[in-house]
Amino acid sequence: MTKTVEYFFSIGSPWSYIGFDAFTELAAKNDVVITPYLTTVVEENGGIFSRNRPEIRRAYWTRDLKRWARVRGKELRLDHRPELGDPTPASLFVIAAYLDGQDWIGVARALQHAFWSEAKDIGRPDVREAIVVAAGFDGAALLRRQADDDVQNKWAADRVHARDSGVFGFPTYVYDGEIYWGQDNLPFLERHLRGDKP
């Protein structure tokens, strides 16, 4: 029986990047259909941007990210990296691919890798287009689509749905009414998918 997991994530979240492949592999193994929702930190639910946290907590956050990146086999550039642009336009690429029935997972993976492993400014349209073209997608079409009403409307609706679902940080997985926050909660999500509901 096919199961559906609502997946809330942000291109601008390193935790979303670190846990992305582990989640998609888990989904494939457990016959899961993923419904993606892209947004940014939901501050009204208690989410906190890393830049707004005390320095001692930011330092721990950085160490924890590096530990998990090694566990997940991800190269993560956090030090000596250039200032990155707004990840919002990249989210619109992923939404457009999803709405058009394309491989949105492949588009998200390419953009996240460029953002977090190569420190590329995916806020720039030329950079974004080149990244997805190199990954085998029609970058010009995705660039055109990002301004379309259905793409913009889903971007706005995704944030409302995240807020109303109790999401505050990323990644968050919702299955059968149960919220799992953080890629470190994937083992609990998998147990639930296999019948062990908390």
In the block, residue with structure tokens 């939404």: 95
**Alpha-carbon gap, residue 104 to 196, rounded angstroms:** 29
Cβ 133 vs Cβ 93: under 8 Å: no
From the candidates 10, 13, 16, 91, give the one annotated as an active-site residue. 13
Q: Is 16 a catalytic residue?
A: no
Angle, in degrees to the nearest 10, between helices 104-116 and 14-29: 150
SS3 at position 174: strand
β-bridge pairing 178-181 and 3-9:
unpaired
In the block, residue with structure tokens 């609990």: 188
Position 129, amino acid = E
- With 0-12 CB in 10 A as exposed, 13-18 as middle and 19+ as buried, what is 21? middle
Q: Which residues are catalytic?
A: 13
